[in-house]
Amino acid sequence: MHGYISQSDKGELVIGGGADSYLNYSQRGSLPAIEHTVTALVELFPAISRLKMMRQWGGIVDMTGDRSPIIGLTPVEGLFVNCGWGTGGFKSIPGSGFVFADTIANDRPHPIAEPFGLDRFTTGAVIDESVAAAVAH
């Protein structure tokens, strides 16, 4: 079960959000993902089962092999990446900007960013944590 909910200033409830279990570039959203999210939230707040859904939105998330971002150098000289934030971005992306700037300025990974390098998929030192999303991936 997985869902989040917040109320906008207009009073509408903004809810979300899951990812499809398969590749999807349509950006149309999908019924099983909506049903999964709504099921979780109705279980938590039964009263919202009476609400009508006004609109839905679907986009593309960049997921990595271990669900953690990739921050650091690449095999191409002068090319740096800060990507793969997938479902876990909102809270830690601003912080990652500081270590990424330091990484670019010094052409080496910032100590905090070091474990998030692209080479972790070769060494096997993958990061089994959910970054800031507080979601057990």
Partner 1 sequence: MLKITCPVCGLGADETEFTAGGEAHIVRPASTDPENISDEAFRDYLYVRDNPRGLAHELWLCARGCGKWFHAVRDTYSHEFKMFYKLSDPKPQLNLTKKPRARAKAAKS
What are the residues binding partner 1 (CB under 8 A)? 20-26, 30-32, 65, 121-124
Q: Helix (H) and strand (E) counts for the chain?
A: 3, 4
Q: 125 by DSSP, 3-state: which?
A: coil
In angstroms, what is the minimal distance from the CB of 92 to partner 1? 22
In angstroms, what is the minimal distance from the CB of 1 to partner 1? 16
Q: Can you give the C-alpha Rg of the chain in angstroms?
A: 18
* Cβ closest to partner 1, residue 19 vs residue 93: 19
* Cβ closest to partner 1, residue 84 vs residue 110: 84
In angstroms, what is the minimal distance from the CB of 62 to partner 1? 10
Determine the Cα–Cα distance for residues 65 and 127; give it in Å rounded to an integer.
10
Show the CA angle centred on residue 86, arms to residues 94 and 68, nearest 5°.
Answer: 80
Determine the Cα–Cα distance for residues 113 and 34; give it in Å rounded to an integer.
34
* Cβ closest to partner 1, residue 7 vs residue 123: 123
* Cβ closest to partner 1, residue 79 vs residue 134: 79
